[in-house]
Structure 1
Amino acid sequence: MTTQEAAAGRGAAGLADDAFDALLAEVTDWTVGPGEEWAETIEAGDGYVPEELWTELKTRGYLSLAAPAELGGRGLTFVQWMRLMEVFSRSHASIRMIVHVVNGTWRAMNPYADDVQREKFVRPSIAGDIKVAFTLTEPGNGTGADITSTVRRDGDTYYLTGAKHLITFGVRCDYWLLFARLEGSTGKDGTVALLVDRNAPGVEVVDTSKTMGVHGTDHAELYFTDTPVPAAARLGQEGEGLDVALGGFLTPSRISVAMSCVGLAERAQELAVGYALKRVTFGKPLAARQAISFMIAENEADIQAARAVVLEAASRWQDGGERDTAMSSIAKMTAVDMLTRVTDKALQIHGGLGYWQTQKIERVYRDARAQRFEEGTNEIQKTVVARDVFARAARAQSAEG
């Protein structure tokens, strides 16, 4: 295991079984109690998560669960963290989004931060004292070496010009963890990672938070025109921008999104089962109808199969196992497809009533659509997996020949 891999959270000792079981029970109780009350508040409100919810998550330590103890976190193993993510994901999608992002962004920063940056950015982010928004995606490009936002350096200052969009917490953050390229460069080697102050001059922030689902999570389009950024706010070296963005962050984040699919599917199944047991038609509960019971059985098998794949991917990443990157994509594409099938059947079991916002399944159904593009669409995941399959086959043929 490299130093950077360790800094991104691999190899953590984790909590003892009894301590973890107590934490899991606590999170479960919070999710079905206060978490559900917060869900109702968010949906009934103006479309934004109240700052009081952020404060409560911070106070309870839920924003620092995944980080190592030496940085102020709980030091969970990655598999332990995924089991908690499964529970959080049964709650409101914005609650899941907050704990997912905050418990993951430090993985990108910490391996490349110097001591000063660790104290200024990494620790405060883990503690929940500042909000850092991951800022990679652009309106006219993908999310890799084709980024076109540029910086030019003049002395100890970079000047940033470009645009970003679909930036989660991009409106209410304190810093954007932003990826750009040196002016005139092409490809991966010209990229840089910068922590850009939310109040820096030359920035236009457009709130794009009105979405189909995941109400309460703010999103932004960002436009930069010669925005000054101190060179001291650069993570890593020039040319390491994509290493910061993708190296210790993307693989575990894809697994986390996959587990969020499992948790949300479990919630959909719970709602469908509850409705099937109480809804009576022609003198019988829906649960007694073979068509309904078959849908419930199919959902259960689907959920358990996906959960096993996600936990396998989490274990491989945690232990630095072979093909961990490909397995993260396998987990993501498997869990996303599963969630689509499960929520569709769960809504169908509710009949016409499920279409109304008075039913919790309606929100679950809307929220489930977001995971299909988080951390890359399934089309991207299939590309990653196919590349891995062909590469392994080519190596095997070469060894034989």
Structure 2
Amino acid sequence: MAVDKPAGLDGRGTAVDAGTYERLLADVTAWVEGPGEEWARVIESTGSVPAALRTELRERGFLGLAAPRELGGAGLSFTQWMGLMEVFSRSHASIRMIVHVVNGTWRSMNPHATAEQRARYVLPSVAGNITVAFTLTEPLNGTGADISSTVRRVGDVYLLNGTKHLITFGVHCDYWLLFARLEGSSGRDGTVGLLVARNSPGATVEDTSNTMGVRGTDHARLTFVDTPVPVDRRLGEEGDGLAIALGGFLTPSRISVAMSCVGLAERAQELAVGYARRRVTFGKPIASRQAIAFMLAENAADIQAARALVMHAAAEWEAGSGEAPALSSMAKLTAVDMLTRVTDKALQVHGGLGYWKSEAIERVYRDARAQRFEEGTNEIQKAVIAKDLLDRAAAKEEAGA
């Protein structure tokens, strides 16, 4: 299967001019603070994302911002995209999730797609005309090479067997971008990346969307029993599965999730500052109380420190630095811990009222907890960082020997 790899389609080498970017930033900010808040109320009250919201995001071009112009996107650089991701993340978590995922899955598909696959799957995904759900995680396995879903080839078809869970948009997608291994293989060499149609025979979909936070984003548990997948829906070659899943997707996605933490923390801080200025005790706003003011000051410093690391990681990935994978884990680890501290203090500033659904901070607090495991837990991030640190020390020692 010949893979067509046009240059410059990884989203690193392009950027829009400053004027265009400022207009985009203003447009996104106005939408998040206006219509986005109205949609947030609808999502929270119904527990689902209306089809009309997805249509609006598509028509505004918000689902293709991160992709290069050659794929129908806006042509933003990755660091520019992070500035917009920061703003989107101040909105409802399900809105952020839609924008984040659709603006990211093309990175996984595009480098390994044939010209026909690019036209059939990648371009429609960037345009927002189809939804592709990233389908890696399994209930009885770790992430990465530790997957047990299998395929066996029969002529021009793979027969897929296995179970996946925690699959975002797995219920209402058009395709699952699914990772499995050749029957009888082990390690990364036998892994494959497949585009599996949502209505494929032998596929059972269980909606598992009843979550603590991030209401409205559907999640699925998927079971496959001899599900036929045409071989021409395989991305890349047999053995490329993990490279597709992790190579072009995981590092920028971790950085994007880290920036999501920053944006959500900024929203929590905004709510806390506003409440502290309004709430009066003994004739004075509680913002004048040192205990409250110090919480807000700590939050402000925490947010700025995390944001600086996230943007550094984004710039390094954009430049193709070998340090980017470890930096992405550092950024995610740091930002999610920051978010935990900031949202806790922000809710504390609200006192008991912050625990009630009538206050916006209640939703922000619930949504923040999900970030602790999106794109890997803190423990995974620490393992990645430690391995990179020790590998670099060993290489330096060997070079000096």
Report matched runs for 1:221-260 at 5 Å: 221-260=221-260
1:368 aligned residue? 368
String of CA shifts for 1:211-236, please: whole Å, max 9, x gaps: 00000000000000000000000000
**Residues 282-321 of structure 1 correspond to what in structure 2 (within 5 A)?**
282-321=282-321
Shift of 1:306: 0.2
Please list, as runs of the form range in 1=range in 2, the aligned pairs for 1:25-174 lying within 5 A after superposition. 25-45=26-46, 47-174=47-174
Which shows bigger deviation, 389-398 or 339-348?
A: 389-398
Contact 2:49 2:216 (C-alpha < 8 Å) held by counterparts: yes
- How much does 1:5 deviate? 8.6
Alpha-carbon shift at residue 283 of structure 1 (Å): 1.3
Note if contact 2:108-2:248 (Cα within 8 Å) is conserved in structure 1.
Answer: yes
Cα deviation per residue 1:116-148 (whole Å; 9 max; x = unaligned)?
Answer: 100110000000110100000000001111100
Which residue is equivalent to 2:11? 9
Question: Secondary structure at the residue paired with 1:368?
Answer: helix
- Per the TM alignment, residue 284 of structure 1 is displaced from its structure 2 partner at its CA by 1.2
State the alpha-carbon separation in 2 of the partners of residues 288 and 317 from structure 1. Answer: 42
Distance 2:247 2:19 in 1: 33
Q: What per-residue deviation string (whole Å, max 9, x for no partner) do you get for residues 268-290 of structure 1? A: 00000000000001111110000
Distance 2:9 2:241 in 1: 17
User: Which amino acid is 1:344 matched to?
Assistant: D
- RMSD of the TM alignment (CA)? 0.9
The equivalent of 2:219 in structure 1 is 219
Q: Percent identity of the aligned residues?
A: 71
Q: Distance in 1 between matches of 2:225 and 2:100?
A: 31
Q: Supply the distance in 2 between the matched residues of 1:7 and 1:377 (Cα, whole angstroms).
A: 30
**Corresponding letter in the other structure for 2:158:** Y
Give 1:34's aligned amino acid. Answer: P
The residue aligned with 1:205 is 205
CA 1:30–1:99: 2 relative to 1, 3 Å: same
**Contact (CA 8 Å) 1:5, 1:248: kept in 2 or not?**
no
How far, CA to CA, are the matches of 1:240 and 1:77 in structure 2? 26
In 2, Cα distance between equivalents of 1:336 and 1:6: 31
Between 385-394 and 306-315, the greater mean CA deviation after superposition: 385-394
**Preserved CA contact (<8 Å) 1:8 1:108:** no
**Closer, same or farther in 2 for the Cα pair 1:296/1:57, shift >3 Å?**
same
CA–CA distance in structure 1, aligned partners of residues 9 and 193 of structure 2: 17
One-letter code of the match for 1:369?
Answer: R
Residue of structure 1 equivalent to 2:351: 351
Query: Contact 2:32–2:91 (CA<8 Å) still a contact in 1?
Result: yes
Name the aligned partner's letter for residue 179 of structure 1. Answer: F
In structure 1, how many angstroms separate the alpha carbons of the residues matched to 2:368 and 2:355? 15
Distance change (3 Å), C-alpha of 1:4 and 1:301: farther
Contact 2:163-2:221 within 8 A present in 1 as well: yes
Q: Name the structure 2 match of 1:382.
A: 382
Distance in 2 (CA, whole Å) between partners of 1:107 and 1:213 is: 27
Give the structure-2-normalised TM-score.
0.98
2:102 and 2:184 mapped to 1: Cα distance?
33
CA distance in 1, matches of 2:399, 2:184: 41
Q: CA deviation at 1:369?
A: 0.5
2:264–2:364: 8 Å Cα contact kept in structure 1?
yes
Give the residue type in structure 2 aligned to 1:31.
V
Residues 183-208 of structure 1 deviation map (CA, whole Å, 9 limit, x = unaligned):
00001000000000000000110000
Letter in 2 for 1:94: S
Q: CA deviation at 1:398?
A: 1.8
Provide Cα deviations, 1:277-309, integer angstroms capped at 9, x if missing partner.
000011111100000000000000000000000
> Counterpart of 2:237 in 1: which secondary structure?
coil
Partners of 1:153 and 1:159 within 8 A in 2: yes
SS at match of 1:189: coil
Are the aligned partners of 2:164 and 2:222 in contact in 1 as well (CA < 8 Å)? yes
Asked if 1 retains the 8 angstrom alpha-carbon contact of 2:10 and 2:68, the reply is no
Q: Determine the C-alpha separation between the residues in 1 that align with 2:278 and 2:7.
A: 50
Measured in 2, the distance between the counterparts of 1:161 and 1:336 equals 35
Deviations 1:134-167 (A, max 9, x none): 0000000011111000000000000000000000
Shift of 1:322: 3.4
Take 1:94 and 1:223, find their aligned partners in 2: how far apart are those partners?
Answer: 25
Whole-Å separation in 2 of the counterparts to 1:146 and 1:319: 30
Q: Quote the Cα distance in structure 1 between the aligned partners of 2:179 and 2:391.
A: 29
1:271 corresponds to 2:271:
yes
